[in-house]
Structure 1
Amino acid sequence: MKKLSARRRHPLAALVVLLFALAATGGLYAALAPAPKAQADDSSQSLAIEQGKKLYSVGCASCHGMSGQGSSDGPTLVGVGSAAVDFQVGTGRMPAQQPGAQVIKKKNIYSQAEIDQLAAYIASLGPGPVAPTKDQYSPADADVAHGGELFRTNCSQCHNFVGKGGALTNGKFAPSLKGVSAKHIYEAMQTGPQNMPSFPDTTMPSKDKAAIIAYLNAVDTAKSANPGGFTLGSLGPVSEGLFAWVFGLGILIAVAAWVAARTSKAKKS
């Protein structure tokens, strides 16, 4: 005990304890501190949000409010998520040119980098649907037949059987899906823009959305070679039934009238 007490009173004892404490603190920090990559990602995300806020203030705040709270000219953007921003801005629908029954697609005025910054800012206002990755919307290994079943059940009432689009009420319409990118089709199903219902992953899993995209790609590429003959605009059974009644029945009536006229002439002679 006397030897231990003597060591504690040694002039270098305090220095040794201090060095040991510093080494232990440094080791704990190195083990528990965030990795440099994570810190860099956080910094990059913060910069994207900052840049997105600047873009928002110039191009969006006049309708949606300075903080995305909405106004009489535009709905709130809190909770719409990055997917809605990528779709609306990526298709040129936003910023809107003028008010109307429905905002139409037009030429995009933002680069993809600027769209990503806007999406990062809007996503920071509240949780919402996240923009999909390429693996989610890629139709490479999707079931085309299953996608056709899903499309006819959930989408054809408005977009028609092969995505040609169609009229709705009060001046609104379901746009044509011809030439629309796979990512934007996926995001439309995620977010339900304008008159369209939304199909989140809890309702329609990613593989089902990819199957619908695969079906639309298949019918789009098959339009140049239709084994069934003339497509009648690919508008479905309504136009086909109308064609059958008007032209088919009209031809039968014309033939019947011609036969009756020939019979009448034969009797007179």
Structure 2
Amino acid sequence: MRLLNRSAGRLSRHRRGPIAGLVVLLLGLLLTGGLYAALSPAQADTAAEQEELVQEGRELFLVGCAFCHGQNGEGVLTQGGSQYGPALTDVGAAAVDFQVGTGRMPMAQPGSQAPRKEVVYSERETAALAAYVATLGTGPAIPDEELYSTEGMEEDELNELVTRGSQIFLANCTACHNFEGSGGAMPRGGFAPKIRGVDSKHIYEAMLTGPQSMDTFSDGNIPPEDKKAVIAYLEALDEQPGYAGFSFGGLGPVSEGLVAWLVGLGALVGFAVWIAAHTTRSSKKKDEAQA
């Protein structure tokens, strides 16, 4: 018992000594260094990959975008003072991903609005351009898939989302895009494009960034969950079959009946006039022959 008490006393004295503190400090440094060595390579690799992506994006930007937007994204003015290419310093990665990912950029020539066309850049190149433009200033980032994807949702939850999305779409989007997303004409040569069958990510980015004539619906105006509801409504429209013949932009049965009335009745009236005129000429020839 005395031996144990003596050993415990020695250990207690050593713990309170300067050497014990040094040992604890060394162990802490070794543990911290080991954890940093285990975790930092992954972070360093990610940072290096991002820097490489940004550099690749800058090279692509100088070749394909700088002529209109300036070498540093500052924009280019014409001699008349109009905007040849807008500044990209605060548009963010989401705007680039939308414009380039839908083929609207690069434009063949400046115009009132860039139409959707075949995509020029690959997914890697689009990501690189977006990463570079994101370094030029502030702006929304490319949204995560969970913000716009409706996959895996329960049927009741999805139906509720579609119902809410139809109300939001009716209040904010139908004036330009038609109640079923078929698009329509806009002032000064612009137009609201058809948004049926468009990728969900690009619809979300369009609401977030407001491309061209479209208003910008920030998360303060339309929260992310409401943007997702609008996307769910448009996806439901894509799955809905067309029960009529020609849809005429989804204007409804009134427009189809009007076209049928004008075209069908007009054709009948024209045919009747032709028959009457032909009958009159035949009668005149017959009377002249008898005379």
TM, length-normalised to structure 2: 0.70
Q: Which moved more, 1:22-31 or 1:45-54?
A: 22-31
Given residue 56 of structure 1, which amino acid in structure 2 is its aligned partner? F
Q: Is the 8 A contact 1:64 1:76 kept in 2?
A: yes
Secondary structure at the counterpart of residue 138 of structure 2: coil
In 1: Cα distance, 2:173 partner to 2:202 partner: 15
Q: By how many angstroms is 1:128 displaced?
A: 0.7
In 2: Cα distance, 1:157 partner to 1:37 partner: 49
Given residue 184 of structure 2, which amino acid in structure 1 is its aligned partner? G
Given residue 98 of structure 1, which amino acid in structure 2 is its aligned partner? Q
Given residue 240 of structure 1, which amino acid in structure 2 is its aligned partner? V
Residue 92 of structure 1 corresponds to which residue in structure 2? 103
Residue 153 of structure 1 corresponds to which residue in structure 2? 171
Q: By how many angstroms is 1:179 displaced?
A: 1.9
In 2: Cα distance, 1:32 partner to 1:151 partner: 50
Contiguous gaps of at least 5 residues in structure 1? 1-17, 252-269
Secondary structure at the counterpart of residue 61 of structure 2: helix
RCO higher in 1 or 2 (8 Å CA, sep ≥ 6)? Answer: 1
Q: Is the 8 A contact 2:246 2:256 kept in 1?
A: no
State which of 199, 215, 222 in structure 1 corresponds to 2:233.
Answer: 215
Secondary structure at the counterpart of residue 128 of structure 1: coil
Q: By how many angstroms is 1:31 displaced?
A: 5.6
Secondary structure at the counterpart of residue 35 of structure 1: helix
Q: Which moved more, 1:31-40 or 1:168-177?
A: 31-40
Q: Is the 8 A contact 1:232 1:240 kept in 2?
A: no
Residue 5 of structure 1 corresponds to which residue in structure 2? none
Q: By how many angstroms is 1:47 displaced?
A: 0.7
The answer to whether structure 1 residue 50 and structure 2 residue 64 are counterparts is: no
Question: Cα gap change, 1:232/1:54 in structure 2, threshold over 3 Å: closer, same or farther?
Answer: closer
Residue 266 of structure 1 corresponds to which residue in structure 2? none
Q: Is the 8 A contact 2:65 2:106 kept in 1?
A: yes
Residue 233 of structure 1 corresponds to which residue in structure 2? 248
Larger radius of gyration: 2
State which of 104, 117, 121 in structure 1 corresponds to 2:132.
Answer: 121
The answer to whether structure 1 residue 173 and structure 2 residue 191 are counterparts is: yes
TM, length-normalised to structure 1: 0.76
Q: Is the 8 A contact 1:161 1:234 kept in 2?
A: no
Contiguous gaps of at least 5 residues in structure 2? 1-21, 78-83, 266-291
Residue 194 of structure 1 corresponds to which residue in structure 2? 212
Secondary structure at the counterpart of residue 204 of structure 1: coil
Displacement over 6 Å in runs of 4+: 18-24
Q: Deviations over 1:14-57 (max 9, x none)?
A: xxxx9999887665555667622211111111111011111101
Q: Is the 8 A contact 1:148 1:212 kept in 2?
A: yes
Q: Deviations over 1:124-179 (max 9, x none)?
A: 11121111111111123341111111111100000000000000111110000122
Q: Which moved more, 1:134-143 or 1:91-100?
A: 134-143
Pairwise CA RMSD of aligned residues?
3.0
The answer to whether structure 1 residue 109 and structure 2 residue 128 are counterparts is: no
In 2: Cα distance, 1:91 partner to 1:32 partner: 42
